[in-house]
Amino acid sequence: MIRITELSLPLDHPADELRQAIVKRLNISDADLLDFTVFKRSYDARKKNSVILFIYIIDLEVRDEAAVLARFADDRNVRPAPDTGYYPVGQAPAGLSERPLVVGFGPCGLFAALLLAQMGFKPIVLERGKDVRSRTKDTWALWRKKTLTPESNVQFGEGGAGLFSDGKLYSQIKDPKFYARKVMHEFVRAGAPEEIMYVSKPHIGTFRLTGVVAAMREEIIALGGEVRFQSKVTDLLIDNGQLEGVVLESGETLRSRHVVLALGHSSRDTFRMLHRQGVFIEAKPFAIGFRIEHPQGMIDQARLGKYAGHPELGAADYKLVYHAKNGRAVYSFCMCPGGTVVAATSEPGRVVTNGMSQYSRNERNANAGIVVGINPQEDFPGDALAGVELQERLESLAYELGGSDYCAPAQLVGDFIRGVSSTEFGEVEPSYKPGVRLGDLAPSLPDYAIEAIREALPAFGKQIRGFDRADAVLTGIETRTSSPVRITRDHETLQSLNLRGLYPAGEGAGYAGGILSAGVDGIKVAEALAKSMLAEAGQT
Ligand code: FAD
């Protein structure tokens, strides 16, 4: 197989032009090109007002591969294609009595369980929330009727935190073993659109993700696994530094010496339990800020120029970073083109925002977190849980500022920059449900964060015209940008540094940020766990 990189074609090129371009690039006859697939397709919008090009990476087969590679020996854009296939690390022996446990059924737990099931280990998944269907009803009850179900919401339940999301599936992790391809491949097998395999910034959107997750659960069950909802793990059974099992809230005990802990960043009661049990945990940096909303059309215009609204490009995104004079980094986070801002709390009396969209990304507003990086040394010194406590304090304050009924505090950008309360909206209507309460956001975050965001917004306005328009809306607050803790693990065995048999994983343990990287981490821990079980069964 040969890989061609940097093959560019105009945005509106007819489909058959791609084949012609490959043949021309390799200077071969059409008959010599046996097959090809698009490995990646991105676009180059730097000349947005003259021409936008698609840039392809193509994997292909030709009649005489050695001869073609020899002719292009000095061309770094024509190379042998890497093997991106996935090969399991082993197969469980028949009759294995121990079953691994997977705590949490977000993307990390989902992929850990799927891989373990595919290798024949028959995992038992324990998820504190409900299945996708019941969970969707509970989540909408907060957005529509201000009724929160603390165990079933945007953060907790089948599919994890990524279920009600933009379903962006890209990440900047190093992935030498192409695990991200395995994640995409499994999503496609479960019903996600094929294009996620090759577009440069794939996304699924909430409704599609819901069906995909349910299909993957069915596969785990068909392979002999079990998925138990409303099964919160509240304690660990430990014997002399070895994990022996877990205790559920119901009092039931499940024994296993191999447990994946894929909690997500919002399982604060479980972090506290782990800390009490003496499992090594440390505080880690995260970010705090607001969600900002603009008309999507304005973002499209700024990013895509005359190509704004082009069906091949869809709703435009952005990524912004600014270094403020007070030393703080301000950046855009989890940008959702054509989406909505959502109420993302899992706890009574707290308000926290995030963003989601559907596959079509056709809501009127673009939204993104505008957040400031914070760290334990400077901003929340104390014990391992000091970051959790800071998040709780800020989210409670946001609840009060929003009127103590799950509405969120909000302010217009112009007023925020000038330091005056907002009283009425301009053209931009905020999408947050159950609603926002206009006022002054300055008291909602520490002064250094307010100062840095005030300085950053006009600077962002220089990169995206209109970004600092006076009637853009800021909704508070964004605190759950990543986990405030790391549950430390050995980098070889992926087990907790002081509790054998515990495999901390995914976002909550501080080893992933986002759906794709959480899925990849799930694959890694499944492999590490499988190797350990195989070794114990004498099958190495
Ligand atoms: P989670 O998805 O948080 O899953 C953890 C699971 O563990 C939960 O289901 C929880 O109920 C369960 N659990 C916790 N404690 C226990 C316990 N004690 N017992 C049993 N079960 C337990 N990322 C992207 O890449 N793209 C996006 O577009 C995107 N949009 C987002 C939009 C929203 C609204 C939110 C909230 C997040 C979004 N994210 C997005 C982030 C992404 O969802 C997370 O990074 C990802 O879900 C982390 O995966 P995880 O499996 O590590 O943890």
Half-sphere exposure of 526 (CA within 13 A, CB side): 33
Q: How many of the other CB atoms lie within 10 Å of CB of 382?
A: 11
The pLDDT value recorded for residue 73 is: 97
Q: How far is the CA of 522 from the centre of ligand 1 (A)?
A: 12
Tell me which of 441 and 205 has the higher pLDDT: 441
Half-sphere exposure of 405 (CA within 13 A, CB side): 9
The pLDDT value recorded for residue 540 is: 66
Q: Produce one character per residue of 342-378: b if its CB has 16 or more CB atoms within 10 Å, e if not.
A: bbbbbbeebbbbbbbbbbebebebbbbbbbbbbebee
Mean model confidence pLDDT for the chain = 96
CA 531, CA 88: separation in Å to the nearest integer? 10
Does residue 434 have a cis peptide bond before it, meaning omega lies within 30 degrees of 0?
yes
Residue of 101, 143, 265, 515 best suited for mutating to test ligand 1, as the one with most atoms within 8 Å of CB = 515
SS3 of residue 339 by DSSP: coil
The pLDDT value recorded for residue 510 is: 97
SS3 of residue 84 by DSSP: coil
Q: Where in the chain are all domains bearing CATH 3.50.50.60?
A: 101-281+484-536
CATH superfamily of 101-281+484-536: FAD/NAD(P)-binding domain (3.50.50.60)
Q: How far is the CA of 448 from the centre of ligand 1 (A)?
A: 29
In this structure, the residue with its CA closest to atom 14 of ligand 1 is: 263
The pLDDT value recorded for residue 170 is: 82
Answer yes or no: are the C-beta atoms of 431 and 482 closer than 8 Å: no
CA 293, CA 181: separation in Å to the nearest integer? 32
Confidence of residue 358 (pLDDT cuts 50, 70, 90): confident
Reported as a single tens digit per residue, the pLDDT across 134-181 is: 999 999 999 999 999 999 999 999 999 978 877 788 888 889 999 999
The contacts of residue 374 (CB under 8 Å, 6+ apart) are 285, 286, 287, 288, 380, 449
Q: Tell me the β-bridge partners of 233.
A: 248
Reported as a single tens digit per residue, the pLDDT across 280-307 is: 999 999 999 999 999 999 999 999 999 9
In this structure, the residue with its CA closest to atom 44 of ligand 1 is: 514
CA distances from 328 to 324, 331, 440, 456 (A): 5, 10, 22, 10
On the question of pLDDT at 331 being above 70, the answer is: yes
On the question of pLDDT at 44 being above 90, the answer is: no
* Short-list 450, 432, 433, CA closest to 441: 450
Does residue 28 have a cis peptide bond before it, meaning omega lies within 30 degrees of 0?
no
Q: What are phi and psi of 375, to 5 degrees?
A: -140, 155
As a whole number, mean pLDDT of residues 113-118 equals 98
SS3 of residue 298 by DSSP: helix
Listed in order, strand segments (DSSP E) in 27-149 are 33-44, 53-62, 78-80, 101-103, 124-126
On the question of pLDDT at 539 being above 80, the answer is: no
Reported as a single tens digit per residue, the pLDDT across 479-516 is: 999 999 999 999 999 999 999 999 999 999 999 999 99
As a whole number, mean pLDDT of residues 312-327 equals 95
Give the amino acid at 424: E
The pLDDT value recorded for residue 207 is: 76
Q: How far is the CA of 211 from the centre of ligand 1 (A)?
A: 17
Percent of the chain scored above 70 by pLDDT?
Answer: 100
Residue of 187, 507, 523 best suited for mutating to test ligand 1, as the one with most atoms within 8 Å of CB = 507
Q: Which CATH architecture has domain 2-80?
A: 2-Layer Sandwich (3.30)
Q: In 305-412, which ranges are continuous DSSP H helix?
A: 376-379, 386-401
Reported as a single tens digit per residue, the pLDDT across 229-244 is: 999 999 999 999 999 9
Give the amino acid at 487: I
Ligand 1 residue neighbourhood (C-beta within 6 Å): 103-109, 126-129, 154, 156-157, 160-162, 164-168, 232-233, 262-264, 267, 270, 334, 342, 344, 354-356, 506-508, 512-516, 518
The pLDDT value recorded for residue 208 is: 83
As a whole number, mean pLDDT of residues 89-99 equals 94
Q: Where in the chain are all domains bearing CATH 3.30.70.2700?
A: 2-80
Answer yes or no: are the C-beta atoms of 395 and 347 closer than 8 Å: yes
The pLDDT value recorded for residue 436 is: 98
Tell me which of 336 and 540 has the higher pLDDT: 336
Confidence of residue 209 (pLDDT cuts 50, 70, 90): confident
In this structure, the residue with its CA closest to atom 32 of ligand 1 is: 165
Contacts 24+ apart (CB under 8 A), 487-494: 487/261, 487/274, 487/279, 487/280, 487/281, 488/280, 488/281, 488/282, 493/528, 493/532, 494/524, 494/525, 494/528, 494/529
Helix and strand numbers, DSSP H then E, in the chain: 13, 23
Confidence of residue 378 (pLDDT cuts 50, 70, 90): very high
CA 172, CA 287: separation in Å to the nearest integer? 18
The pTM of this model reads: 0.96
Q: How far is the CA of 114 from the centre of ligand 1 (A)?
A: 17
The contacts of residue 301 (CB under 8 Å, 6+ apart) are 308, 465
The pLDDT value recorded for residue 116 is: 98
